[in-house]
Chains A and B, each alone.
Chain A
Amino acid sequence: AQSVAQPEDQVNVAEGNPLTVKCTYSVSGNPYLFWYVQYPNRGLQFLLKYITGDNLVKGSYGFEAEFNKSQTSFHLKKPSALVSDSALYFCAVRDGGGGADGLTFGKGTHLIIQP
C-alpha cells in the first residue's frame, strides 16, 4: 500500500520569506512523487515531480522540492513567497514498482502568504 502524510493543515508565511510545505510518504518500492496546487473551485495544477535522478527538483512558479529517501520526505520549498502563492497544495505518491491504481494524495495544506 502507498500513503502520503501532510502534517500541517495550514502554513502561514509572510511575503518575501522562504516557505516550506511538508510531505512524507510510504511505498513499498521506489517512489514517484508529485506536488500539485489548487486554487478555489479549480482543478489541480501540476507543479513538479520526482521520478529518478537529482534529489532537488525544480518546478513551476519558482517552487522546488527535495527528495530525501532516508527520511521518506518530499518537502515543497520556495525561497521567497508571493501573496499569489496562497492556495491549497497536495503531495502525491505512486509506487514506481507497479500497481494499477495510480496516485495517492495527501489531505492538502493550505498555504497563506500574508502581505
Chain B
Amino acid sequence: DGGITQSPKYLFRKEGQNVTLSCEQNLNHDAMYWYRQDPGQGLRLIYYSQIVNDFQKGDIAEGYSVSREKKESFPLTVTSAQKNPTAFYLCASSPAGARGYTFGSGTRLTVV
C-alpha cells in the first residue's frame, strides 16, 4: 500500500540534544512538508521541499533543519537552538500542484 510513514511515534529529547524525525513516502509525490502542531494553534509550516536537493523555510523554521537527498525521504532535525520543541510533528506529501496532502501519523516529541 502507498503511504507516508513517520517514525518514531514518540520521541524524548534531553535539553541540548539534537534529534531527527524520519518521514518516508512511497507515493511518488514531488513535494514534502513538515508541520508543527500545538494545542489551539493549528498547523504551522516548518519547512517544505518541492524537489530533491531543494527546500524552503516555512513560517517557523528557526531551530530546525531538513534535507531532501531522495525523493522518498524528508527528515527533520530539531536542533538545540529550538527552545520549545515539545509538540506534535506532522509530515505530509503531495503531487506537484498541491491539490491535496497525504499526512503521516505524526511524531510526538517531548523534552525531558
Contact = CB atoms under 8 A, between A and B. Distances in A.
A44 B48 contact: no
Interface of A is mostly: loop
The DSSP consensus for interface residues of chain B is strand
Contacts, number: 57
Nearest to A49: B100
B40 A107 contact: yes
Given A32-B99, A34-B100, A45-B103, A100 B42 contact: no
A102 interface: yes
A45 B92 CA distance: 11
A49 B106 contact: no
Contacts of A106: 42
A9 interface: yes
Nearest to B105: A43
Interface string A44-88: 111001010000000000000000000000000000000000000
Interface residue tally of chain B, by bracket?
Answer: 20 to 34
B98 interface: yes
Interface string A85-115: 0000010001000001111011110000000
Given A44-B103, A49-B100, A108-B42, 13 more contacts: A9-B40, A36-B101, A41-B106, A43-B105, A46-B101, A49-B99, A51-B99, A101-B58, A102-B31, A102-B45, A103-B101, A105-B35, A107-B42
Interface of B: 6, 31, 33, 35, 40-43, 45, 48, 50, 56, 58, 88, 90, 92, 94, 98-106, 108
Interface of A: 9, 32, 34, 36, 41-46, 49, 51, 90, 94, 100-103, 105-108
